[in-house]
Amino acid sequence: MRLLLQLLSLLSITFAYGQTFPIDFSEPEDVMNCFDCTFTVTTDNGEDVGSISGGGLAFDTAQLNLAQNLDLSDDNNNTITFRIKPIAEYGTRTHLLKFEGGTGPDTELSFTTTGTDWQMISLNYGPNLGNYDLLVFFPDFNNNQVGTYLVDDFAGGTNVQELEIPSPTPTTPDNEVLSVYGDTGGFTNIWTSDYFFGEATVVDTDPTNAINNTLKLDFSVAGYGEGTNSGVVTDVSAYNYFHFDYWTSDATQIRMILIEEDGSVQEYFYELPTQEMLNYNEWTSVDIPLTFFTSQGFDLDKFFQFKVGTLSDLDTGIAYVDNLYFSVNPGTSLSVQDLETMTLSVFPNPTHNNWVIKAAQPVESIIIYDTLGKQIKTLNPHTNTASIDASGWQKGIYFARINLAQRSQVIKLIKK
């Protein structure tokens, strides 16, 4: 994910309800984001069509996020067809159609137009491709010419089936929550953002008639975040946890980042699999104690923005994220019996030599991290009582991820 100060200056922000192939600009979602160009939906002979006007730059583009990735991996079925019409006589002009994101290498093909009639374009993309979630159209590619072109009826390839496993419906009491993103919890206390940055596609993961909109992020392209204008902060000191749900089949890293502004902008992140393991092919709930962030310096009354991303845009994978909220208690609904069996204590804390952990059920593993998120020790006691030897460690703060059979918990450890 790009640095925050860079993101604040970007005009190229994408937050789209993507569309699926074929695309005929008859749906509200068929709206392309323009970068140094102009896009509108208009009509031609009574049919809805897209209109792209170049901005005169060499690489101005109109882009469309796809709600379902477009599979171009089958070399027998990766020809893309569409219609294009120059609105004036420009002579011969060169354009380019590119596909990005997803699992394959970026792929692009150029083509030309002449005259002012509708022209059918057929582009046969090559072998060894993958699937893609972003269509990029370059009007007047690699030159500074200006023109306006009508486009319609993009077709070809195969839509990759979207995730149709609804994210969990939160059961946390409404009066204990400040909702950041989500539409199924019935929450009334909602944090309001002023803008989006990065890239995300909103998809409905519920195969029934119910709506369960979820953020879909392609980490090979960018992360995603929301924020308020500089100086507008929110006090979240009344809450103890930050909750989110995720689903992924291939992401190698997910960072949940809380951002404060107090004269300067500071970011604090909780990272999977560093702080806890990544689970695959199932919705997983994460409840981060806010003490994890405050121990790093996060000021609870200066919450400014959040981001979901990875260490860099070189990380890959698709992740679905939903139900982001601050809460008084952990977001996962637990019975009294569950809470009793998960009770654990750590003492002495602070310590000079070692910590003792006692739990009502066997401790399966303990993973220790320093304040930079580096894993420094792992224990697998499989007993109700365990000891962490810290006699040779430097003074300071550490974090222990204590994994029980039903749940895991992060505890701050202090070494004197």
pLDDT digits (tens, 9 = 90+) for 264-284: 899 999 999 888 888 888 889
Residue 199 three-state SS: strand
Residue pointed to by tokens 């500089």: 230
DSSP state for residue 339 in the 8-state scheme: H
Residue pointed to by tokens 């390839």: 157
What is the secondary structure of 303-326 as a DSSP string?
A: EEEEEEE-SSTT---EEEEEEEEE
Distance CA 306, CA 284 (A): 19
H or E element, residue 96:
strand 93-100
Distance CA 298, CA 75 (A): 51
Q: What's the confidence (pLDDT) of residue 206?
A: 75
What is the secondary structure of 4-57 as a DSSP string?
A: HHHHHH-S--EEE--B-SSB-S-STT--PEEESEEEEEEEETTEEEEEEEE-SS
Q: What's the confidence (pLDDT) of residue 182?
A: 92
In 273-395 the beta strands, taken as DSSP E runs, fall at 284-289, 303-309, 318-327, 344-347, 354-363, 365-370, 375-379, 383-389
Backbone angles phi, psi at 193, to 5 degrees: -100, 160
Q: What's the confidence (pLDDT) of residue 108?
A: 97
Q: What share of the chain is helix, strand, coil (3-state, %, to 5)?
A: 5, 50, 45
Residue 156 three-state SS: coil
Tokens of 245: 């749900």
* Cβ–Cβ under 8 Å, residues 222 and 1: yes
Residue pointed to by tokens 């072998």: 127
Strands 14-16 and 195-204: parallel
The ranges of the chain with pLDDT < 70 are 1-18, 207-210, 312-315, 331-343, 371-373, 405-410
Tokens of 60: 């101005």
Residue 411 three-state SS: strand
Give per-residue pLDDT as tens, 359-398. 878 888 888 877 656 778 889 999 989 999 988 898 888 8
Distance CA 15, CA 67 (A): 12
Distance CA 199, CA 313 (A): 12
Q: Which of 123, 133, 120 is nearest to 218 (CA)?
A: 133
Residue pointed to by tokens 């982001």: 324
H or E element, residue 58:
none
The reported pTM is 0.55
Q: What's the confidence (pLDDT) of residue 24?
A: 95
Report the Cα–Cα distance between both ends of the chain, in Å, rounded.
Answer: 36
Residue pointed to by tokens 């882009």: 63
Name the CA radius of gyration of the chain, rounded: 25
For residues 142-180, one letter each, b for 16 or more C-beta atoms within 10 angstroms of the residue's C-beta and e for the rest, the string is eeeeebbbbbbbbebbbebebbeebbbebebeeebbbbb
Q: Which of 79, 90, 144, 127 is nearest to 112 (CA)?
A: 90
DSSP state for residue 292 in the 8-state scheme: H
